[in-house]
Amino acid sequence: MEPQQAQILDGKLVAEHTLQKIMHEVEGLKSKNICPKLSIILVGENPASISYIRQKRKSCEKVGIIDDQINFSETISEKELLNKIKELNKDNSVHGILVQLPLPKHINERKIIEAINPVKDVDGFHPVNIGKMFLGKDYEELSPCTPSGIIKILEYYKIDVVGKEITIVGRSNIVGKPVSTMLTNRSATVTTCHSKTKDLKFHTSRADILIVAIGRANFITADMVKEGAIVIDVGMNRVEDPNSKTNYRLTGDVDFENIVKKAKAITPAPGGCGPMTVACLIENTIKATKILNSII
Ligand code: NAP
């Protein structure tokens, strides 16, 4: 008998489904003479940032959002960047502002994020949007995209989180902490782990749903996962691969090949959380457009 394989939670499929729904919403907005527009700021020429922006712009184009990429050299001053954000905040034709991270070391990322009008903060990183998320599910408005994408995958595959033991490995401001809050808002029992957690395996192996966002290739091994668990792999790591044209391949934070034989369901990486992050950015842009036009 063939060993059982986990169900693959296909982020590309869920992202496509999300974008199809948004496409109809964009048509509705355009019929009211509202053209959603996203401004994307790139500082420098980080290849990963360029590749992420390409994916974001492709999705904008697909659903009919106007996307405007603003490039600055690596040497731009913090003040110049802040001035550009002020200008975009005032521009009524712009509904979403995204500053692609990371920024060069001489620029304070927090200061830049906090300069964005919270209503145009489609990445959901502004303290106002993070604060709203803490108040509860009904207050979530422009939530961070990767956590929102994880919630959407769980919802699409009808994975109930109420009362479930969920362990999250990673406590970053963009993934671990917000997804922990959003799942608590949805009545899961959440444990958040990090580099100082004493017995990581104890926490991962009792999880009904395990979410991993640490940035270490194949770090979570099959012995750390409960039989029949749901595994969401957020990690996106470049590992050397001489057989690949680029000399590297992308891989997640979990040992997919072995965990797929033990878990009930698992996201692939790539092809899991990545496409969902982009889809949720597009969704946030539409939400921002509606809020700015007093439609919601
Ligand atoms: P980050 O800011 O570097 O945070 C990493 C977290 O992992 C930290 O909280 C750190 O703990 C924890 N950690 C590191 N080593 C650990 C260990 N040995 N045991 C337990 N915890 C450990 O990373 P991030 O921005 O959240 O990203 C995490 C991964 O997700 C990366 O691979 C990134 O590329 C990927 N990612 C993917 C998407 C997507 O759309 N697919 C989006 C965002 C991020 P401390 O806090 O104690 O240092």
Strand-pair category, 230-233 with 209-212: parallel
Distance CA 243, CA 32 (A): 52
Q: Which of 47, 105, 104 has its CA nearest to residue 250?
A: 47
Ligand 1 near 118 CB (within 6 A): no
Best residue among 173, 174, 195, 254 to mutate for probing ligand 1's pocket (most ligand atoms within 8 Å of CB) is: 195
Q: Which residue has the tokens 């527009």?
A: 37
Tell me how far the alpha carbon of residue 102 lies from the centroid of ligand 1, in angstroms: 14
Distance CA 132, CA 185 (A): 12
- Write out the DSSP string of 157-193: TT---TT-EEEEE---TTTHHHHHHHHHHTT-EEEEE
Backbone phi and psi for residue 179, each to the nearest 5 degrees, phi listed first: -70, -30
Ligand 1 near 189 CB (within 6 A): no
Q: Which of 206, 162, 171, 210 has its CA nearest to residue 192?
A: 171
Residues in the chain: 296
DSSP assignment letter at 142: S
Best residue among 168, 234, 251 to mutate for probing ligand 1's pocket (most ligand atoms within 8 Å of CB) is: 234
Ligand 1 near 236 CB (within 6 A): yes
Q: Which residue has the tokens 């296909």?
A: 10
Asked if domains 33-117 and 144-273 share a fold, the reply is yes
Tell me how far the alpha carbon of residue 194 lies from the centroid of ligand 1, in angstroms: 9
pTM over 0.85: yes
Tell me the per-residue pLDDT of 218-268, one tens digit each, with 9 for 90 and over: 999 999 999 999 999 999 999 999 999 889 999 999 999 999 999 999 999
Pick the CATH number of 33-117 from 3.40.50.10860, 3.40.50.300, 3.40.1390.20, 1.20.58.1690: 3.40.50.10860
Ligand 1 near 277 CB (within 6 A): yes
Tell me the per-residue pLDDT of 114-130, one tens digit each, with 9 for 90 and over: 999 999 999 999 999 99
Question: What pLDDT score does 296 carry?
Answer: 74
Tell me the per-residue pLDDT of 124-151, one tens digit each, with 9 for 90 and over: 999 999 999 999 999 999 999 999 999 9
Q: Considering only CA atoms, which residue is closest to atom 31 of ligand 1?
A: 215
Tell me how far the alpha carbon of residue 214 lies from the centroid of ligand 1, in angstroms: 3
H or E element at residue 84: helix 78-90
Catalytic site positions: 56, 100, 123
Strand-pair category, 237-240 with 248-251: antiparallel
Which atom of ligand 1 lies nearest, measured to the CA of 272? 41
Question: What pLDDT score does 4 carry?
Answer: 79
Backbone phi and psi for residue 181, each to the nearest 5 degrees, phi listed first: -65, -45
Contact partners, residue 92, CB within 8 Å, separation at least 6: 292
Tell me how far the alpha carbon of residue 197 lies from the centroid of ligand 1, in angstroms: 14
**What is the chain's mean pLDDT, rounded?**
97
Q: Does domain 144-273 have CATH number 3.40.190.290?
A: no
Task: Provide the residue ranges of all domains of the chain, joining segments of one domain with +.
Answer: 33-117, 144-273
pLDDT at 3 over 90: no
Q: Which of 120, 117, 93, 90 has its CA nearest to residue 36?
A: 93
Tell me the per-residue pLDDT of 57-114, one tens digit each, with 9 for 90 and over: 999 999 999 999 999 999 999 999 999 999 999 999 999 999 999 999 999 999 999 9
Best residue among 9, 53, 146, 175 to mutate for probing ligand 1's pocket (most ligand atoms within 8 Å of CB) is: 175
Tell me the per-residue pLDDT of 178-223, one tens digit each, with 9 for 90 and over: 999 999 999 999 999 999 999 999 999 999 999 999 999 999 999 9
